[in-house]
Amino acid sequence: MASRRGTARLTLAGAALALLPALFLAGPATAQSTGSGILLPGAGFEPVCTPDDPALAELSGLAMVGGKTYGIGDSGTDDSVVVLDGDCAVTGTVPVPVDPYDIEDMGVGADGRLWLADTGDNQRIRTTVALIDLDPTSGDGELHRLTYPDGPHDAEALLVQRDGVPLIVTKEVLVANGIYRPAGGASLDGLASPGPTALERVGELRLGPTTTPGGPVPVGGSTLVTGGAVSADGTVAALRTYTDVYLFSAPDGDLARALTTTTPVRVALPNQPQGEAIAFTPDGDLLAGSESAGGPLPPLQVLPGAVDLARDESWSGGSVSLSASVGESAASDPSEASDQAAADDAAAQWSTSVLLGGALVAGLATFGLVLRRSRSRRH
């Protein structure tokens, strides 16, 4: 691959501008399914620690392997995976074995290898995307190119099923988020290097809108899928937006089925500037991180007992605490959660044109702050 080039590329604001005609061509407002899941009153994230290394200013992916926490930034800061200790201090780096285009997430294979999702494509111009496998101990790895069956997509969420089949969930504006896997259900071990391997679309889902604050785009950001994670035993999948986390229970390990046929539980995230990273701990907690969006580095947050929250359909709320952590759980008051749910129902009645209008206005306001570097060539 070619070296990086410092030319700017459009981000979320650009996507809103590209869809400007839809703002005027949209039909009358119609009621839509909220897709906001079941809000859990009393469940909330708590701060763990705050990174101070500039390498994490664009944190886009998190993973935990062998008791270590790994993080990576996206385009422009994705040449190395960083190793974090329990205080969010960087204790080492593992170079990415190829020059990536835009890494947006990380998954973990059954053998403990990291799988980097080089799937970012804000301008939707890439002819291929890629997964990159990386041995965090030796640094060895290979490139595995992938092709969509229906044209370019931007994607920031990778889920690795316990049978080794990777799922890519796209990040779409206005339309449903697509779920893709290698054609025929090939596992990670079956991906050609350098490829490409064809992908197939196996489903779609919509998340939100909700009124949870956070992210660069009010309301509209609550519908954009920005990260994914899978529990250690492969029975719970998490997808996040800029504002909320959705937990899907899949006792049989079929995450694609769970994403498309079950109702997830939802937990509001703390107000993060541009949250894109999540990862399960071996104990079933869920870590969440955010880019700094030009400000100070935000803390990593943890949702204690996330796996149990997804599995226990009769969970009725109550306090959630994390030893040696400080902070109050979000939506700890059930009446607040009820008010939040009512507000989300109201948000769901917004027409497509109104939702896009909010995204467009916010995108224009933040456009100058979120330009990122591109590369001279693509996978």
pLDDT tens column, 189-233: 999 999 999 999 999 999 999 999 999 988 899 999 999 999 999
Question: What pLDDT score was predicted for residue 362?
Answer: 42
% of the chain with per-residue pLDDT over 70: 73
Per-residue pLDDT, 357: 53
**What is the pLDDT at residue 343?**
53
Q: What pLDDT is recorded for position 339?
A: 54
Residues of the chain with pLDDT under 70: 1-34, 313-379
As a whole number of angstroms, the distance between CA 223 and CA 220 comes to: 6
Q: 286: closest CA among 216, 225, 239?
A: 239
Task: Give tens-digit pLDDT for 275-331.
Answer: 999 999 999 999 999 999 999 999 999 999 999 999 885 333 332 222 222 233 333
What pLDDT, on the 0 to 100 scale, is given for residue 342? 54
Whole-prediction pTM = 0.81
